[in-house]
Structure 1
């Protein structure tokens, strides 16, 4: 707070910064692990394309030096260390800055910010923590056969990295949909209150994913519409395909959210129906026992038939007790038959 624009302030919880440098030519490539600034200055001018991957954002001095080597805008670097930015695309004279979010922990639904710079001859990615969906891209880069990643330049490599992030959301959506189907099947067989808690959590996650995909879609749309000279028209064709994937993810996330909302409403309806069924059963049982209780109460009063013939003379009947039980059973059976005739049972 109060620092001048472009000032980099590291998060106290940020991980230690480590650099990985991938040097790319049309016919070959090399990788330098635990790279340093000297490696950058030594190799960048000798290779037509370099990909610098920085994992961990604790070393702001190192990030500032990287910005000076590649001429990165200081405000963009400030957004790199201030994580929690919404997905966006910004364009400068000689490079672009793209922020995307990816799922770092599918179980806990923890998001991680990926900041990406690309310009003529370089691509730079900044990650908060170790672990990313870039392995397919790395395998294509080191493949022995010629491929577009080694021949089409920095804008195509940036597209491939962004596309890998976007595609990593599809298994997450499929897994969430499968879990929702499981909850639905269990709910139809036996509704339970813990299912509502699961559905509310899934709806929250779907809503968060929907908002993330909307911002990512807008960022990709900005890349497709950009007239920056370092984004070639043929690369925009591929970016447009990734944009279609983002549109599909928005629709899937929206569908997932609507599905969980519908299941929550259905659970409430099932619970209410179950409650009504229980209340109806209790009401019927009470309706049957009310006249029986009345009869028992009448016969249980302290009358003395020797005092007067009106003092319940049937109290001295030889079969009075079984007769009373049979009479009460007939009353109960008659009430059940009446309820069924009225289709209340």
Structure 2
């Protein structure tokens, strides 16, 4: 397992994450990307009011149509998107075709729309993959109508809504006492709160890389810094628009939003602002870490140059003395004296020793 973890660093494209860069940066909203239909779609309905609660798994999309006007609050959760099924539900529940198009879109910017009595929120659920050290996204669409909510998810195997399901199963929970708008708030709140868990995992990764940069400055550490900065781009791209989305909800005058619920959305706004500030702090840490890496490289280079300069200075007296006695003159002091060789060698040794002492005294090394 450890060998597999480090093999990828032998491939240059994996080392510097160039494929990840293309996935993060190269997003062109003017190009219509076609989503491939999921192999299978799962529909679950949570129908409730103050007195009762039912949870049903539906076999077909048509089975959900009866929950449109049943005087209860209905949450229809669609896991796995199939274009034909989404269009059928949009036609029956009065969802505008533009909203249906956004539901089926890929790599959309988080946003909020209100079209023909339907309140629509699109954002991403974030997950931190500890094995690969990367942030994964899953687009989710929340459609709020009169006494119903429909959520469209890409991945049928994971989401962050289990705490909401548990509260709905509780007889006296606050969620059961309020309307569909409060359920919408609960969904947005738990998605935003999960952002902090993702940033916590990413923060641990940043601490590990920071320690590695301090201990050992090498190309691998630079590659990890680059990868973490790319993950922060994903975080910022998903968190910053959500702040604007929540602001639009608070300012909305939709009849679907109870005035009592607006204060709860303000609480979500406080959380997303805090998440955005934390994301900016992480970005500053990564910039400082990159500067630390560059400073360490320069410091190591300076140390090498200092040693080479000292060695050059120490060899300079021997070079000068050897050059003097190697000149082609007839008369040179001590040239024909039997102790001349030893005087020259002694000078070659004593002068560098004296130079070393002076360098040490001046604090040059």
Q: Same fold (TM over 0.5)?
A: yes
Out of 41, 47, 65, the position equivalent to 1:23 is: 47
- State the alpha-carbon separation in 2 of the partners of residues 27 and 266 from structure 1: 61
Corresponding residue of 1:86: 109
Report if the CA contact (8 A) 1:203-1:260 is conserved: yes
Q: Is 1:291 aligned to residue 303 of structure 2?
A: no
- CA RMSD between the two structures: 2.5
Q: CA deviation at 1:18?
A: 2.2
- State the alpha-carbon separation in 2 of the partners of residues 247 and 132 from structure 1: 23
Report if the CA contact (8 A) 1:9-1:60 is conserved: no
Provide closer, same or farther for how the CA distance between residues 37 and 189 of structure 1 changes in structure 2, counting only shifts above 3 A.
closer
Out of 72, 93, 99, the position equivalent to 1:76 is: 99
Report if the CA contact (8 A) 2:142-2:150 is conserved: yes
The 5-angstrom pairing of residues 222-241 of structure 1 reads 222-241=248-267
**Any idea what the Cα deviations from partners look like across 1:248-299, whole Å, max 9, x if unmatched?**
1110111111111111112212211221121111111111112223434555
Report if the CA contact (8 A) 1:103-1:110 is conserved: yes
- State the alpha-carbon separation in 2 of the partners of residues 178 and 21 from structure 1: 38
Report if the CA contact (8 A) 2:334-2:340 is conserved: no
The 5-angstrom pairing of residues 105-120 of structure 1 reads 106=129, 107-120=133-146
Q: CA deviation at 1:316?
A: 6.7
Q: CA deviation at 1:78?
A: 0.4
Q: How many corresponding residue pairs?
A: 330
Q: CA deviation at 1:225?
A: 1.1
- State the alpha-carbon separation in 2 of the partners of residues 204 and 38 from structure 1: 43
Corresponding residue of 2:357: 337
Corresponding residue of 1:136: 163
Gapped regions of structure 1 (runs ≥ 5): 1-7
Larger Rg: 1
Provide closer, same or farther for how the CA distance between residues 205 and 108 of structure 1 changes in structure 2, counting only shifts above 3 A.
closer
Q: CA deviation at 1:86?
A: 0.8
Q: CA deviation at 1:53?
A: 1.1
Per the alignment, in what secondary structure is the counterpart of residue 245 of structure 1?
Answer: helix
Out of 93, 97, 121, the position equivalent to 1:98 is: 121
Report if the CA contact (8 A) 1:207-1:254 is conserved: no
**Any idea what the Cα deviations from partners look like across 1:85-143, whole Å, max 9, x if unmatched?**
11111112322010111214534322221111011111111111121111111111112
Q: Is 1:200 aligned to residue 223 of structure 2?
A: no
**Any idea what the Cα deviations from partners look like across 1:29-61, whole Å, max 9, x if unmatched?**
22222442342134544450111111122x211
Q: Is 1:51 aligned to residue 114 of structure 2?
A: no
- State the alpha-carbon separation in 1 of the partners of residues 183 and 208 from structure 2: 39
Per the alignment, in what secondary structure is the counterpart of residue 242 of structure 2?
Answer: helix
Per the alignment, in what secondary structure is the counterpart of residue 113 of structure 2?
Answer: strand
Corresponding residue of 1:36: 60
Out of 291, 294, 297, the position equivalent to 1:268 is: 294
- State the alpha-carbon separation in 1 of the partners of residues 127 and 233 from structure 2: 17
Report if the CA contact (8 A) 2:125-2:139 is conserved: yes
Once the two structures are overlaid, the 10-residue window that deviates more, 69-78 or 333-342, is: 333-342
Corresponding residue of 1:184: 210
Report if the CA contact (8 A) 2:139-2:154 is conserved: yes
